[in-house]
Amino acid sequence: MPLMDEFREERQAIRQKSLKEKLSYFFDYYKWHTVAVITLVAVVISLTVHLINRKDCALYVCLLNAAELDQAAQYKQQFEEYAGIDRSDYEAVFDTSMYIQLGGRDQMTATSYQKMTVYTAAGDLDVLICTPEITEFYVGRGIFCDLRDILSPEQTALYESRFFYVDQTVLDAIQEAREKGEDYEPAFSDPGNPEAMENPVPVGICLDGCQKLKDSILFNDDTQVLSVLANSSKKDTALQFIDYVLQEP
C-alpha cells in the first residue's frame, strides 16, 4: 500500500478514537518533539527577560576569596543609593565568585586567574578587595592606580593613615626583570611604613575596622586591602565606594 494511503487510513482511524486515546497517541508519537519545542520556547523567553531586565554596570567590585552574607544585598543597595546610582538602569556588581590561592594549582584558582586577567585587560574590573599578599602579587603587574592621582586632598587627609604602600624601586626592578625574561622574586617592604622606602607609592587602602563591610561579606582573611584599577573608566564611582566603605554612613 502506498505510504500516503497508509497515512490517510491512520488519520481516519485516529478521528474515530476517544479524546483520551487521541491524547495518548499524540503523546506517544510526538512527545519528544513537544518537549523540544517547549524547551526552546522556555530558553527564548528566559533570554528575552534577561536582556530586558539586564542593567548596565555602575561599578564592578571584585571581593576575592569571599562570600556574601545575608546583609550583602542590603549593603549593595545602600551603596547604590549613597552614590546616586539610577537603579532602574544601573547596578553595582559585587563579585565574590573568584578564589585565588597564591601558588595553588587547583582548578578554582586557575579559573579565577583567567577570569581576573580577562576582566582586567578588558577594563571591566574597577575595584579589587583582597589580602595584602595578593595585592602585592597584582601590583607587580602594574594594574593599580597611584591613589594620589585620583583621591581629593580631603580624601587623602582622611585615609592617608590607612594607605598600603609599595616601593616604586621594587616595581621598576620587577618590570626590568620581566622585559629581560628573567625570574625575579621581589622583596616588598612593610606596606605601612613608607619612610623605609625609596619611593613609596600608595596603591591601596587597608580596610581594618570596616564593620558594615565585614557584616555583609565573609572574607577568608581578616586583613583586606582595597585598590582601584588603573584602567577603570568608573573612577569617580570608585571614589564614592571608598567613602562609603570607610566612612560607613
pLDDT at position 31 over 60? no
What pLDDT is stored for residue 3 in this prediction? 46
Same domain, 152 and 118: yes
Same domain, 192 and 240: yes
Same domain, 148 and 190: yes
- Alpha-carbon gap, residue 205 to 146, rounded angstroms: 11
Same domain, 136 and 240: yes
Number of Cβ within 10 Å of residue 211's Cβ equals 8
**Alpha-carbon distance values, 66 to 38, 40, 71, 100, 151 (Å):** 38, 36, 14, 10, 26
Same domain, 115 and 229: yes
Domain that holds residue 22: 3-51
Domain boundary among 29, 51, 73: 51
Task: Tell me the whole-structure pTM to 2 decimals.
Answer: 0.78
Mean pLDDT of the chain: 85
Same domain, 107 and 65: yes
Cell of 25: 497517541
DSSP β-ladder status, 225-228 and 127-130: antiparallel
Same domain, 11 and 121: no
Per residue in 42-86, pLDDT (tens digit) is 444 433 433 344 589 999 999 999 999 999 999 999 999 999 999
Same domain, 214 and 172: yes
pLDDT at position 165 over 70? yes
Give the number of domains in the chain. Answer: 2
Same domain, 149 and 79: yes
Same domain, 170 and 122: yes
Domain boundary among 51, 74, 91: 51
Q: What is the mean pLDDT of residues 121-128?
A: 96
Better-predicted residue by pLDDT, 180 or 236:
236
What pLDDT is stored for residue 124 in this prediction? 94
Same domain, 27 and 144: no
Same domain, 26 and 63: no
Per residue in 170-180, pLDDT (tens digit) is 999 988 888 88
Closest CA to 225 of 79, 69, 66, 72: 66
pLDDT at position 97 over 80? yes
Better-predicted residue by pLDDT, 36 or 222:
222
CATH number at residue 116: 3.40.190.10
